[in-house]
Amino acid sequence: MVLADFEHLNLASILNTSSLEHLVTIKEPVYPELVHYFYSNLTFQNNHAISRVLGMDINIFLDRFAHLLHLSCEGVRYL
């Protein structure tokens, strides 16, 4: 994805301000079908993000999940 393609929507600025630009600029191999399965099955219970993909249970502490996504566990700061 090229953020400049969405200049007319001010998307780059919105994602940058929210510290979410990392989510759309990942330069690693991505498997859209597996990502879909992961997020379709995602639930949050007792400080864990829990999902299941291709018969494999995935259980991640929320602070680790937030770290992997470059997010804060504290939420977004409003200026």
**pTM of this prediction?**
0.58
Q: Are 25 and 36 in a shared domain?
A: no
Domain range spanning residue 25?
A: 1-29
- Bridge partners of residue 60, in order along the sequence: 49
| Number of domains, the chain | 2
Q: Are 24 and 35 in a shared domain?
A: no
Are the beta carbons of 24 and 15 closer than 8 angstroms?
A: yes
Q: What is the pLDDT along the chain (79 residues), one digit of tens a residue?
A: 565 676 777 766 777 776 666 666 667 787 889 989 998 999 999 999 999 999 999 999 988 988 877 777 776 666 6
Q: Are 44 and 58 in a shared domain?
A: yes
Q: Determine the distance from the C-alpha atom of residue 59 to the mean position of all C-alpha atoms in its chain, rounded to a whole number.
A: 16
Q: Are 16 and 35 in a shared domain?
A: no
Q: Are 37 and 14 in a shared domain?
A: no
- Which letter, b or e, does each residue of 43-77 get, where b requires 16 or more Cβ atoms within 10 Å of its Cβ? eeeeeebebebeeeeeeeeeeebbeeeebeeeeee
